[in-house]
Structure formats: structure tokens, C-alpha cells
Structure 1
Amino acid sequence: MPDLATLIGHTDAHAKRRRLPRLAIAAALILAAIAAALIWRQRAAAAHAGPAYVTEPLRRGDIHLDITATGNLEPTNEVTVGSELSGIILEVYVDTNDHVTKGQPLAKLDTSKLAQQTEAARATLAANQARVAQAEATLREARATLARQQELQRLSSGKLPSRADLDAAVAAADRAAADLLSAQAAVLETQAQLSINETDLAKAVIKSPIDGIILTRAIEPGQTVAASFTAPELFVIAEKLEHMKLNVAIAEADIGRVAAGQRATFAVDAWPGRAYTAAVLKVSYGSSITDNVVTYETELEVANDDLTLRPGMTATADIRVAESKNTFLVPAAALRFTPPSANAAPVAVSADGNNQKKSIVDSLMPRPPRSVRRPSADEPEAKPADTHGTATIWILRDARPEPLAVSTGLSDGRRTEIRSDALAEGLPVIIRTM
């Protein structure tokens, strides 16, 4: 049989095994109570604490308002050269991209038929001029005969010549005068026809009406030109591509801000990354309606000294309609902000969204920072505008929001210009709550 000491040892070991689970349960209950107390304390503190504010220091900067429009580049003056005459192209003297001067020959029509017609007109003119000389001589002779008949009648006291002879002399003189007038009219007619033929000969040589560059050439030697009711298009000449114009369409909602003299920049696909300068030259009063959208054509003058721009290029222009320099700017969110409760005790938060103090639970149980509230999809970004008016911003002073009335100016959709005598750089402007 086991002795008494052995029995006592077995009894103590069995008692220890029964006490261990009870101690573990008691320890777990104590820890749970402590955690519950801490959580309750944190929630109670949060219930009494005010909202946390995200601030941004007030700064100065530049802001501008641009209106964007699309259009096409065109020469300042573009001339279409045609032919008033029909015929066959004999020679072409220029090609596309050639520089030409005013009066320079561009092409020539076959003038063989015109030359023959001109020579015939000259011959007819000479014949008619001879008829005039002959008619003048006949008139002088008829008038002399009439004068002799009248003198004879005076000397014979009306006995000679007979009445019939005298009337015949008068009629002969009148016919001679009429023949002279007819011959003179024929000369004038022939001179006019000769002038027309000579003009046509000159028009057979097609010349440039301006100084410029050949954009298009639509003829070849041997081609037949038919000039009926309209002159056929043979060449298109652009005047001085060093200066061009950009015609853009401005929407009716923006046209009130656009005026002559405003500066602009534009870009073309041919030269990505390069910005060209321009200036508003003219704003049209006439409107265009396309798909129920009303636009107004606006002309911008463009310098093209290096000739990198070409007619017809599509350009997107930004017209500077207003700007302010070295002015106070705040985020657009600051103008929309309103404190949730004027009595709440706030907690200051920097613009990166981190609280200046951490709670006990956060210290014991680290976790990722709470996300900063961002505008939702239902809150579209504001459009650039000239928002002259009044507004209220909130400044964080002594850990509490204080309102400040300001005047608003330009806005680019992200920032807004504000003005007030109470403004100073570095003021903590509240933009949102955590």
C-alpha cells in the first residue's frame, strides 16, 4: 500500500491542475474589463471632443482665367487666280510653294488665234480710216458744188440754176456729210474691237495680283481652259505667310468675356509641346448654329516668322480673358466649408490629414490612418469663372474656427482669389473636417 506522503503528493498535484484553468479565466476576464474600460473612456472622450479640421496656410500666387476654343489657321489674304479667256495652256511658269511678286507671269494661253484676230482688226481699222478720208473729200466736193450753185442763183436773180439742180446739190452735200459720219463711226467700232483683242492678248498671260506664295496649282501645259460664266480656278496664292490668322469658334456662354486685344496662346498637332502666341483681332457679331450650338467666330492674329505654321492646320487656343498677380488664393473647398457645430471643441489637423494627438487606444492598438474625405463623384469640380462677390472662409484660431468675410475674384476651378484687409500670409484656412 502507498504511504501517507505519496497520497498527499498526488492530492496536491490534482488540486493544482484544477486551479490553472480558473486562473486563466480570471486573467482573461480582468483583461477584457480593462479593454472595455479603455474603449468606453475613448468613446466618451470622442463624444465630448469636437471635429478635427484640415487646414492649409494662406498663400499668395498668380491666377488667370482662360477660354479654350478650336479653329483653323488661314492666310491673312488668300487670292484665287483664274482665267477670263478660254483656250489651251501653252506654258506654266510657277509651281506650288514658289514665291511670286505682283505682276509676275504665272502661265500663258495659246494666243495664235487671238493674234490673227488682232491683225484682222488692225487691217479693218486702216480700211475704215481710208473711208473716212474718202468721205471727207466727197463732202468737200459736194459742199463746193452747192456753193457754186447758190452763187449762180444769186447772180442770175434766181433764174439759174433750176430748182431741181439746186435741190440735188443740197442733197449731195447732205449725203456726203452722212457718209463721213458713218465712216468715222466705223473707225471707232474697229478701234474698240482692236482694243478688246489687244486686251485679250494681255489677259492670255496670267499674272499674279499680289506678292505671296503659291498654295495650289491646278493646271498643266496642254490643258484646255473653258471660261464660261465663272473663271476657272488655276492658282491659289497666299499673301505673306509670315503673318496669319486663326479663326476660332467661341461658345455663346463665353463670348461676353472675349474682346479685341486680349492675349492668347495656341498649339498645333504638328509641333507638340510648342506654344505659339496670338492676339484677338476681331470678334464677330454674326453667329453660327451647328447642332443647336451657337458660336461666334473670333479672329486672332498670329506671327509665323519661321514659317512652321501652314494654312489649314487645326489649332487649340487659350484666350486669356482675365488675370490677377500676387494675390491671395484659397482652395475652392475652403469657400464651401461650414463648421458642423460652433460649440464643439475642435482638434487641429494638418493638411496631410494626421491628428496632432493620438488616443490611448491608438497608442495601444496601432492602425492605419483614417482616410481623408475627398469630394465625391456627385460633387463636380468647379469650372473656371470670374466669381466676383462675397464669401466666408474659416480660420483656425486657438483651436477653434473663426469666420472671416472676404471678397472673391477669379477662380480656375481649383483655387479662388480672395481679398480682405484682414488677410495675411500663413493664416490657417480650414478646408474640411476629418
Structure 2
Amino acid sequence: MNRFTLTLLAVVITLGGCAQETEKRTWNLASVQQRDIIVSVQAAGIIEPVTTVELKSKASGEILAISADTGDVVEAGQLLVQIDKRTPRNALAQADAELEAANARRDIAKLQRERAATLFKTGTLNQVDHEQSILEYANSKAEVVRAQVAVENARIALDDTEVRAPSHGTIILREIEVGQVISSPTMDVGGGTALLRMADLRFVQVRALVDETDIGKILPGQKAVVTVAAYPNQPFDGSVLKIEPQAEEEESVTLFAVIITIDNKSGLLRPGMNAEVELNIASRYGVPAIPTIALRTPRDIEAAALFTGMEEAQLRAQLRSSGMAVPDMVSGASEATENDAVDNATDSDTNKEAYQDKEAATLTTSEIPSQLTAGQGYMFGGQYWIFVLRDGRPAPQYINAGLTDLDYSEVLSGVDANEQIILLPSSALIMSQNEFREWMGKAVGLPGMSSDKDD
């Protein structure tokens, strides 16, 4: 027998001996405390402009002057870029001349039509020539309209050589220099030359990625606090504008983009800054609370009975008497029904009466529902049970829990202020330890451990 086997046997023998001792059991206890419970969601993002405009010119030609540079704040209608006017000016002059000629032809055609009408009445002019004069007059009027359109288009093209700010904003990017020849997006299949990029930085936004487990708690209009590395001690107030409907996946983690808008009239926030966002979901101040690890659901009954040494049937009966709807003991094949019991439990008449008897002696928060909602469909709290220490022994108690920050949970009803709460290990740990104990008992048949071997 090797050293490892001897060591293992020694440990097992010690555990077996300890199991037979009848020393008084001690428990890990916690008390009901008055606490502030604040639920928030943290996320990271980047400062972005709410609106960004890329400026291009519908005119082609050489840039003669640039009146704004990166960082300049401009107003609507302010001249930003001047493009060579010679070609558009020449086109306008030509269009004006053609309009003048068209007006002249129209006037002549009008006189000819009137003269033809007079001659046709006296029989001097035949029907065909009379109709031809009418057609020529109509064509001359159409030519005047075409010439007027050409003049208007030429005037627009001349105005397009002056690129002006479409609205109030800040120049955030300049992509051109004086002397550069640019192309028009209306003439170039490549989209034309980008001149400047501007944005209104009086309001900015953060596009923060939030885990799907938290996205149900967030609603448009909720308040947010944004901090940036440049001003670590100066938080900025914001609010949720919207939640983008399409999820994004990063390293097998599903995330949703949340847009938070921020008033930036101070101009401190700049596009591209890394931002940390804290969304305030819900808060309760000065409420009775217990550690969240004390909360148990019907699926934990078997493990809790093993750990405390109680009979499982007795534990279920005591929970029913405290006002909780608990299913009967089920086999492993029906375990899923028990796992869902905490969500599907209903307040029967019997449970209501049992609970009302305890209501006067429990901690309550007036006019607070048993489950607190944080928006459309998301619900905090629920129905749980805990162990309290009574007369030195664990006693199960049904409670209603409210808001939780994962460390502590608000107690809406079900527990006295002076009661001691028993904190149990996780059910998975209890069950795994029990399985190990049974396996060791079957393997070596030590006292204090179960064994299927015959003596």
C-alpha cells in the first residue's frame, strides 16, 4: 500500500470518526440589517457626436480659399470654402444670352402668328401656313422656358462654388488644402471630394455595450452618470435615448448597444473619448435586508435537508405552514417541476391565511408590492425561503424579497427584525459533498459513512 493510499485512509477514518461525534452544531449566522440597496448597470463606450455632417461641393474646380479650420465653431450660413467661380460665371453669362435670344424669337413668332391670322381671315393665307405660324410661336415659348431653366441652373452652379455651413457646429475634420482641385459628387461616380466634417458638439452621446443579462433593466429616459479619463472627478449627467434592437457578439458574449445622450454645452467632452457609464436602475434606502446567499428556492429543499439533518418531508411541511406553496417530494424524473415551483407558486386561500397571521410581527414596507418592477416586464424580488435560528435549531421561513444588489436583498415581509438568519453553503456544494461521502463509504466501508458491503 503506497503513501497516498495510507494518507487517504487516515483522512477518511478521521472524517468517519467525526461523523459519529454528537457535539453541538454551530451555524454561520447573519442578522437583519437596515441598508441602502442600489441597483446599477456599468458599461463602457466612446463619446460620439449626435449628428455628423460631411460637407461636399456640387461644384467642381480649384479651391481658392478655406475660411474654417479644425476645431472652429461655425454658424449656419457661414462661408467655409470658396471654389473657382470662372467656369460657372461663364456658364451663367451664356445662359443669360440664350434667354435673351429666346425672348426675341418668341416676340417675333408672336407677331408672325398675329399677322398670319389676319391674312387667313381675308383668304390670302392658306390653312397650312396659318397652322405653321401657331406651331412656331408655341415652340418659341418652350424655348424661352428652357432658357430660363438653364439660367437658374447656372446661377445655382455659381452659388455652389461657395460652401457654407448647413447648421451650427464644430469643424472636426478638414480634408482639403488651398489649390486642390475637387470633383463634384453629382458628376463623379466615386462620390466626389469630401471637404470638411462638422458636428454639433453641444450635445454628444455614448454608445455603450451592455450585456444581455442586464439589458432588460434598461429603458429609454433612465438617468445615467458618465465619466471620462480626462475628468475623473467630474461626472456628467446623461439619459438613455434608445436601445438598439440588434444584438452584437464579442468573444461569444451577446451585447446590446445603448445610446446615452449628454448635455455638452461646456464643451469638455470630445468625440473619441473613452467613457464609463453607470445606469441607475433602482434604489431603496434604509430598508431591512439580509445576505442574498441566505435565500433558498424549492429546488434547494433536498440539499438543505441533508445539510441540517432534517427530514425532507418535515421541511416541506414546515414551509407550507409558513405560507409557501411547495410541491410534494418528487423523483428525479420530475425534478424540473420542482425547479419551476418558485416562479409558478400561487397564493392559495390557505397560504394567504397562514401568511396574514404572521403579518403583524414581520418587517413590512407599506404600499410596496411583493415584486418591484424596473420597467417593461423586468421584475425584481420574488418568493423565497430561508432558515432562521429558533431555540438553537434551524427553522424554515417563507419570505417575500424585493430589490437586490446581489450582495443583499430587501426583505418585504416574512422575517422578524431580531431573528438570526442561517447562511448555508450552495446546494451544489452540499450535494457534491454528500455524493463524495457516499462514494467513500461504498469504497472502504468506514464507520459514519454509508456502505453496501456486508460485514
* Secondary structure in 2 matching 1:281: strand
CA distance 1:393–1:316, change in 2 (3 Å): farther
1:277 aligns with 2:237: yes
| 1:183 corresponds to | 140
Deviation of residue 108 (structure 1)? Answer: 1.3
| 1:322 corresponds to | 282
CA distance 1:333–1:80, change in 2 (3 Å): same
Matched AA of 1:140: E
Deviation of residue 236 (structure 1)? Answer: 1.6
Residue number among 257, 260, 266 corresponding to 1:306 in the alignment: 266
* Secondary structure in 2 matching 1:118: helix
Q: Could you tell me whether the CA contact under 8 Å between 1:334 and 1:394 is conserved in 2?
A: no
**Distance in 2 separating the partners of 1:198 and 1:120:** 11
CA distance 1:393–1:281, change in 2 (3 Å): farther
CA distance 1:94–1:242, change in 2 (3 Å): same
**Distance in 1 separating the partners of 2:164 and 2:109:** 44
**Distance in 1 separating the partners of 2:385 and 2:280:** 25
Matched AA of 1:78: T
**Distance in 1 separating the partners of 2:295 and 2:113:** 106
**Alignment map for 1:70-149 (pairs within 5 Å):** 70-148=44-122
Matched AA of 2:165: S
* Secondary structure in 1 matching 2:244: strand
1:67 aligns with 2:45: no
Q: What per-residue deviation string (whole Å, max 9, x for no partner) do you get for residues 85-124 of structure 1? A: 2111111111122111111111111011111111111111
| 1:268 corresponds to | 228
* Secondary structure in 1 matching 2:43: strand
| 2:352 corresponds to | none
Q: What per-residue deviation string (whole Å, max 9, x for no partner) do you get for residues 353-390 of structure 1? A: xxxxxxxxxxxxxxxxxxxxxxxxxxxxxxxx945221
CA distance 1:146–1:319, change in 2 (3 Å): same
1:173 aligns with 2:138: no
Q: Could you tell me whether the CA contact under 8 Å between 2:60 and 2:183 is conserved in 1?
A: yes
CA distance 1:265–1:81, change in 2 (3 Å): same
Q: Could you tell me whether the CA contact under 8 Å between 2:383 and 2:398 is conserved in 1?
A: no
CA distance 1:423–1:231, change in 2 (3 Å): farther
| 1:206 corresponds to | 163
Structure 1 alignment gaps of length 5 or more: 1-42, 151-165, 344-384
Q: Could you tell me whether the CA contact under 8 Å between 1:75 and 1:244 is conserved in 2?
A: yes
**Distance in 2 separating the partners of 1:285 and 1:432:** 41
Q: Could you tell me whether the CA contact under 8 Å between 1:142 and 1:169 is conserved in 2?
A: no
Deviation of residue 204 (structure 1)? Answer: 1.2
Matched AA of 1:417: E
**Distance in 1 separating the partners of 2:225 and 2:56:** 37
* Secondary structure in 2 matching 1:120: helix
Q: Could you tell me whether the CA contact under 8 Å between 1:393 and 1:406 is conserved in 2?
A: no
Structure 2 length as normaliser, TM-score?
0.65
Q: Could you tell me whether the CA contact under 8 Å between 1:243 and 1:305 is conserved in 2?
A: yes
Q: What per-residue deviation string (whole Å, max 9, x for no partner) do you get for residues 55-77 of structure 1? A: 34421111122222222222222
**Alignment map for 1:320-399 (pairs within 5 Å):** 320-335=280-295, 340-341=308-309, 386-395=380-389, 397=390, 399=392
**Distance in 1 separating the partners of 2:155 and 2:149:** 10
| 2:179 corresponds to | 222
Deviation of residue 193 (structure 1)? Answer: 0.8
Q: Could you tell me whether the CA contact under 8 Å between 2:295 and 2:386 is conserved in 1?
A: yes
Q: Could you tell me whether the CA contact under 8 Å between 1:333 and 1:432 is conserved in 2?
A: yes
* Secondary structure in 2 matching 1:308: coil
Higher strand residue share? 1
Structure 1 length as normaliser, TM-score?
0.68
Residue number among 413, 420, 442 corresponding to 1:420 in the alignment: 413
Structure 1 stretch displaced more, 98-107 or 285-294: 285-294
CA distance 1:172–1:275, change in 2 (3 Å): same
CA distance 1:62–1:146, change in 2 (3 Å): same
| 1:257 corresponds to | 217
1:429 aligns with 2:421: yes
Matched AA of 1:233: A
Q: What per-residue deviation string (whole Å, max 9, x for no partner) do you get for residues 373-429 of structure 1? A: xxxxxxxxxxxx94522121323x5555444432223333322222325421x5443
**Distance in 1 separating the partners of 2:171 and 2:385:** 59
Structure 1 stretch displaced more, 189-198 or 402-411: 402-411
Q: Could you tell me whether the CA contact under 8 Å between 2:380 and 2:404 is conserved in 1?
A: yes
Q: Which has the larger radius of gyration?
A: 1
Tell me: higher relative CO, structure 1 or 2? Use CA pairs within 8 A at least 6 residues apart. Answer: 1
**Alignment map for 1:284-299 (pairs within 5 Å):** 284-299=244-259
CA RMSD between the two structures: 2.9
CA distance 1:97–1:323, change in 2 (3 Å): same
What is the number of equivalent residue pairs in this alignment?
329
Matched AA of 2:215: I
| 2:400 corresponds to | 407
Structure 2 alignment gaps of length 5 or more: 1-16, 297-302, 312-378, 426-455
Matched AA of 1:276: F
**Distance in 2 separating the partners of 1:267 and 1:238:** 21
Deviation of residue 301 (structure 1)? Answer: 1.9
CA distance 1:173–1:57, change in 2 (3 Å): same
Matched AA of 1:97: G
| 1:380 corresponds to | none
Residue number among 50, 67, 77 corresponding to 2:24 in the alignment: 50
| 1:237 corresponds to | 198
Q: Could you tell me whether the CA contact under 8 Å between 2:401 and 2:413 is conserved in 1?
A: no
Q: What per-residue deviation string (whole Å, max 9, x for no partner) do you get for residues 100-151 of structure 1? A: 1111111111011111111111111111211122222222232233333x2x
**Distance in 1 separating the partners of 2:105 and 2:383:** 93
CA distance 1:388–1:266, change in 2 (3 Å): farther
* Secondary structure in 2 matching 1:297: strand
